[in-house]
Amino acid sequence: MSTLPPCPKCNSEFTYEDGGVFICPECAHEWSADAAVSTETVAKVYRDSAGNVLQDGDTVTVIKDLKLKGSGGVVKMGTKVKNIRLVDSDHDIDCKIDGFGAMSLKSEFVKKV
């Protein structure tokens, strides 16, 4: 018996095949067999504002003043952020900034050092 890929939307293991399409019974997501192969082999590439490829553990610099929602503070241009962690969400970078604590940043507002 062949193993079917998990659902790319909800990660359910209870997928089934209907013709050339995979279907998830939990979230009703449908995808083709070609899409399942291509999503598994392609990894997302994170780039900074200058087009340099970012990796976990890199040091970056903030390229413009960033206003913080809720606290009213500002992360100033030129602030160095060490040991970044790349995540797959609307903000690409999780990090800790001295004086501000844990924070999420978008890769378009940083430059690799």
Per-residue pLDDT tens over the stretch 65-97 = 999 888 788 999 999 999 999 998 899 999 999
List beta partners, residue 66.
75
Closest to 49 (Cα-Cα) out of 111, 92, 113: 111
> Cα separation of 57 and 44, whole Å?
17
**Domain membership flag for residue 85:** yes
User: Is pLDDT above 70 for 1?
Assistant: no
Same domain, yes or no, for 67 and 34? no
Same domain, yes or no, for 65 and 104? yes
What is the pTM (predicted TM-score) of this model? 0.62
3-state class (DSSP) for residue 16: strand
13: left (phi over 0), alpha (psi -120 to 50) or beta: alpha
**Domain membership flag for residue 50:** no
Q: Which domain holds residue 103?
A: 59-112
Predicted confidence at residue 35, as pLDDT, reads 63
